[in-house]
Amino acid sequence: MGKNSSKLWGGRFEGETAPAVEDFTESISFDYRLFREDIKGSIAHAEMLLESGLLSEPELIEIRDTLEAIAGEIESGRFEFDKKHEDIHMNIEAALIERTGEAGLKLHTARSRNDQVACDLKLWTRGAIDSTVSLLDRCQKVLLDRAEAFPDVIMPGYTHLQHAQPVLFSHILLAYIEMFDRDVGRLRDCRSRLNICPLGACALAGTALPTDPALTARKLGFDAPLSNSLDAVGDRDFAVEFVFSLSLIATHLSRLAEEWLIWSSSEFDFLDLDESFCTGSSIMPQKKNPDVLELIRGKTGSVYGALTSLLTILKGLPMSYNRDLQEDKLPLFGAFDTVKETLSILTPLVAGTDIKKERVTLACKKGYMDATALADYLVLKGLPFRESHRTVGAIVSYAAKQDKKLSELSVGEMRGFSELIGEDVFKILGVRNCIENYRSTGSSSPGEVSRQIKYWKKKLGG
């Protein structure tokens, strides 16, 4: 072995690695998070080596027991990482060799750090996906609880931030449940695609040793072993796909945060946020600032940045493994941490938020939100929709000049615009009538919202 014997890969080298290079190339400062996956993968690999006749049973037992002891030390904070060993894989292997000698020296048989790190990262991402799905499930259930708590509250529905049509507050909450459900679907799709075990690819070309990658895959809970060794070590599609899914989750979280920020503003004053999720001003004693919602909105940018970072790392890489891939972990970990933290705080925030019924009732009196109902009324009387639309537009213009709501106009006034309007028009005017008259699937009618709530209670197990 060369003079650089402190490195497990140092046989070809005559001198020591420059300290600046060690500082620049180390990843133990962040990939230590993979220690559970690394040890789990190493134990499965050792068990496969035993079955393949490349390791004895006593050696397997010694390796397994020592790795489990190292895991316990890392969990408790007693294990000392050394950046001269570069990463989590070499730190654990160096400790194993130091404690077991020859048995530890055999563990890396038919394995490279290239397929090892790919395996660790897939195992970690799989667990992170499961954790994210669980957090989304909790958030959906809280939204569903709030929808049940306010089944009859009518509020303005907006397009272009202008009053459009009346909707039930519970219907809006259910819309976010729908968004998060698509997020869950994307995460599960991603999990299914990543669940191919890369161990057995070694550095890039496989091995001439008698190994059984299918056995390793089964032990680690993968659906199948690799099918192409080059792709197995160079693939990070699963990381990109996961972070893309996290980016869409962050988008949905930010949309909810933005909407609730608007609704909790002094101008709208629709929501009463739990003050334990708000902060005050250093100079203005009256302030109750919705900082949590603002940070949820702001943190979305860092998740998007992680996605851009991963795509940029991958875009110019030739086959197969390149050290650039070391840089995949910080954006991956960071995006997950941000979304995990955001979902964890949003769930109790939603649970503690109330809607101010008087304020939304007052808001519903503005904006002629029953105009579409009047247009539909004329359609049912036989008027083509475009003619109906034009007629109702004229009626709204007239009502605005009179400073009246549509329901405050007389039948005679309305008949001045269309002879089709009769006394029955008052059965459809007003926001409560609008809500009661909705009938299409997925609409904001009480019946449809009740059906949707029952559907989600059954699906979410609530």
Please give the positions annotated as active site: 160, 281
Residue 225 φ then ψ, to 5°: -80, 170
Residue 430 φ then ψ, to 5°: 95, 145
Cβ–Cβ < 8 Å for 42, 199: no
Q: Kindly state the tokens that stand for 92.
A: 């654990």
Q: How many CB atoms lie within 10 A of CB 327?
A: 14
Cβ–Cβ < 8 Å for 359, 269: yes
Cβ–Cβ < 8 Å for 450, 457: no
Q: Rounded CA gap, 230 and 179, in Å?
A: 37
Q: What is the 3-state secondary structure (H, E, C) of the chain?
A: CCCCCCCCCHHHCCCCCCHHHHHHHCCHHHHHHHHHHHHHHHHHHHHHHHHCCCCCHHHHHHHHHHHHHHHHHHHHCCCCCCHHHCCHHHHHHHHHHHHHCHHHHHCCCCCCHHHHHHHHHHHHHHHHHHHHHHHHHHHHHHHHHHHHHCCCCEEEEEECCEEEEEEEHHHHHHHHHHHHHHHHHHHHHHHHHHCEECCCCCCCCCCCCCCCHHHHHHHCCCCEECCCHHHHHHCCHHHHHHHHHHHHHHHHHHHHHHHHHHHCCCCCCCEECCHHHCECCCCCCCCCECHHHHHHHHHHHHHHHHHHHHHHHHCCCCCCCCHHHHHHHHHHHHHHHHHHHHHHHHHHHHHCCEECHHHHHHHCCCCCCCHHHHHHHHHHCCCCHHHHHHHHHHHHHHHHHHCCCHHHCCHHHHHCCCCCCCHHHHHCCCHHHHHHHCCCCCCCCHHHHHHHHHHHHHHHCC
